[in-house]
Structure 1
Amino acid sequence: MQKTLFCLRVGHLLPYAMSDSNTTDFNNPSSFILLGIPGLEAAHVWISISFCAMYAIAILGNFTILLIVRMETSLHAPMYYFLCMLAVIDLVLSTATLPKTLGIFWFNSREIEFSACLTQLYFIHCFSVMESGIFVALALDRYVAICDPLRHSTILTNPVVAKIGLAVLLRGGLLVLPHPFMARRWPYCSTNVIAHTYCEHLAVVKLACADIRLSSYYSLLVIFLVNGLDISFITFSYTQILRAIFSLSTKDARLKTFGTCSSHLCVILAFYIPALFSFLTHRFGHNVPLHFHVITANMYLLVPPMLNPIIYGMRTKLIRDRLLQLFVHKGT
């Protein structure tokens, strides 16, 4: 039933499919066709302006964070190491998708090779898992800094930060590794059209002419191990942080700390809500308009990389002061 519904949703896209696709079965197609945002083809150029602006801000902001932390020795501390990891992850995550998306919007470059599609699939989901892990690490850093400030330097030492960073990288790399291998082994037939701007895992495997329950169940497991556990830990950390905030003696201190934490939570929600919405829509949201689903799926890859350097970086006093010093020094 799910397969039939999906086919009905993309039935009007068959002009993009392979010739003789009704009679041809194959294990590995030479390429897929990415449609961009189905139903909004006439608005692709206009949509690309906002996408391109977000990408430019993400590139500029994240490179600025990396440059300032590298130059300023006083920023060589756990929180800023985590920010640098987040900046690198955001750069990879946005660059893995947007150049191809802009190619679709601007040059009608819809074709993507099979191996390139699987590589993009791996990078997107791998670095999404890493981003979630860094959010947990930043929540841990803020928890210790606010709830147990006297022990912050002894708990989050450089070796501990290095181990956390390594764990985040390994978890992302290993948990997502089965995705492209399972996608490669399925036989594909009928159409090579992906109604999306990039090679999302479920959007790809739904094209397979096989029982894809193994891929589906494994993606559910990854969602539980990553989003479920990470969101639970972040919720616990910020609950404790909020309790500590309201016990502060002065109103100004409470407002300042609460403002910082609330902005952190907003950017975290901007990542998790669209990601979970996209995941659940693939399974249950057959009545959700396809263009709305695709746009939402793009938001969690574009909005957090744009907001992270602003919320975590520019709103941090030490980074903001260092940036101002650079501009003042250049101005003089």
Structure 2
Amino acid sequence: MLNGNHSNVTEFILTGFPGLHQEYQGLASAVLFLVYFLTLIGNGTVFCLFATDRNLHKPMYYIILNLSTCDILFSTTTLPKIISKYWFQSGTISFTACFVQMYFVHYLGSVNSFILFLMALDRYLAICYPLRYTLILKNSTIYILSITFWVVANGAPLMIVIRAYPLPYCASNIINHCYCDHIGITMLACTDRAPYGFPAFVFAMITLLGPLAFIIFSYCSIIIAVLKIADSQGRRKSLSTCSTQLIVIALYYLPRCFVYLASNVGIKFSTDIRVVIVMLYSLSPPMINPLIYCLRAKDMKDTHSTVKVSSKPVG
């Protein structure tokens, strides 16, 4: 460890939900385990449907596949450790493991934001430029864009981890959260946090607001294009193709924007409330997204129905 002579911390302690009474810890762990289980089952179902039906091998579903991959990895990065805390009273995490977890938390959050950008791009081209859609957004284009986003998203999280790792940590080693993140860790450093916190804040804003700006632009353009459709049934059909993506985007962005806005206008939350809000907007979308797609996306719904019929015994 760099600057090891200046650091007395060899491990961190995750408090989870700080104000949670011991009698409710079993219930909390059961709920978290259920969330993790449903996330794996739901996103695993998306993979199975995609693998068993070539009709789903279209740009939109390759984007969904990226989203499911990101959701599984994020939940696997964050949930097992906090579940083990309440099941086995194992709330400690080693110094290096905490930074590894921090890296993946911010990296997968960045990837998720870029995937939602790609999702908005898909609907924008499909509705605003329908005749050019198949020429512009081919499967090969999605491959290239997806790989690019997974690679590019690696840069900033790696930078903030490299800068935070050698800081002197010689005070408290208690992180009031369910997982390691940049704010939670660097607040424990025995040095001025500003030179490290500000670049991380800028990175978060670019990652969050950059894709969000395009998403807002794309859906404003979509609404304008849909209003120009004379047929009311055609308008409804066009809007219905966007409703699934809008729900997923809202689940990801609205709580985050609320938390950032509240913190900047002086609204303060208790530690317990803050942790609960962060956990809700971090872990709810990975669990809910597959349900939204499997129920609302027509091709997936038809595939699911076909699988159910073919699985029934003959006679």
Residue aligning to 2:112: 131
Structure 2 distance, partners of 1:321, 1:106, is 40
Shift in alpha-carbon separation, 1:101–1:260, aligned structure 2, 3 A: farther
Question: What's the secondary structure of 1:151's corresponding residue?
Answer: helix
Match among 17, 41, 47 for residue 37 of structure 1: 17
TM-score by length of 2: 0.91
- Pairing 1:209–2:190 present: yes
Which range is displaced more, 109-118 or 61-70? Answer: 61-70
C-alpha distance in 2, partners of 1:252/1:48? 47
1:179 equivalent in structure 2: 160
Q: Does the aligned pair in 2 maintain the 1:281–1:293 contact within 8 Å?
A: no
Matched position secondary structure for 1:166: helix
On the 8 A contact 1:136/1:234 being kept in 2, the answer is yes
Distance change (3 Å), C-alpha of 1:253 and 1:40: farther
Aligned to 1:306: 287
Q: Alpha carbon RMSD of aligned pairs, Å? A: 2.1
Aligned pair 1:199/2:194, yes or no?
no
State the 1:326 CA deviation: 0.9
For 1:180-214, what per-residue CA distance to the aligned partner results, in whole angstroms no more than 9, with x for missing partners? Answer: 21221110122101111110110111000101222
Going from structure 1 to structure 2, the CA distance change for 1:251 and 1:269 (only over 3 Å counts) comes to same
Picking from 70, 85, 96, the partner of 1:104 is 85
Q: Aligned partners of 1:166, 1:28: CA distance in 2, in Å? A: 40
Work out which of the residue numbers 289, 305, 310 in structure 1 matches 2:270.
289
Matching residue of 2:214: 233
Which of 45, 52, 65 is the aligned partner of 1:71? 52
Once the two structures are TM-superposed, the CA of residue 28 in structure 1 deviates from its matched residue by: 6.1
TM-score, structure 1 normalization:
0.86
2:36 is aligned to 55
1:152 aligns with 2:151: no
**Residue of structure 2 equivalent to 1:17:** none
Structure 2: where are the runs of 5+ without partners? none
Partners of 1:31 and 1:285 lie apart in 2 by 32
Cα deviation 1:90-134 (Å, max 9, x = unaligned): 100111101111112222211000111001100111000000000
User: Which sits farther off after the overlay, 64-73 or 283-292?
Assistant: 283-292
User: 1:64 offset after TM fit, Å?
Assistant: 1.0
Query: How many Å separate the matches in 2 of 1:200 and 1:315?
Result: 34
Give a deviation string over 1:120-151, Cα, whole Å, max 9, x none: 10011100000000000010001111111111
Distance in 2 between residues matched to 1:206 and 1:281, nearest whole Å: 20
Residue 170 in structure 1 maps to residue 151 in structure 2: yes
Q: By how many angstroms is 1:270 displaced?
A: 1.7
Q: Residue 75 of structure 2 corresponds to which residue in structure 1? A: 94
Structure 2 match to 1:115: 96
- The 1-side partners of 2:233 and 2:27 are apart by 43
How far the C-alpha of 1:169 sits from its partner, in A, is 0.6
Q: Do the aligned residues in 2 keep the contact of 1:32 with 1:113 (CA within 8 Å)?
A: yes
Query: How far apart are 1:220 and its partner, in Å?
Result: 1.7
Unaligned runs of 5+ in 1: 1-24
Inter-CA distance 55–251: structure 2 relative to 1 (3 Å threshold):
farther
What does 1:195-274 align with in structure 2 at a 5 Å threshold? 195-274=176-255
SS in 1 for 2:177: coil
- Give distance in 1, aligned partners of 2:287 and 2:102: 21
With 251-260 and 77-86 compared, the bigger mean Cα shift is at 251-260
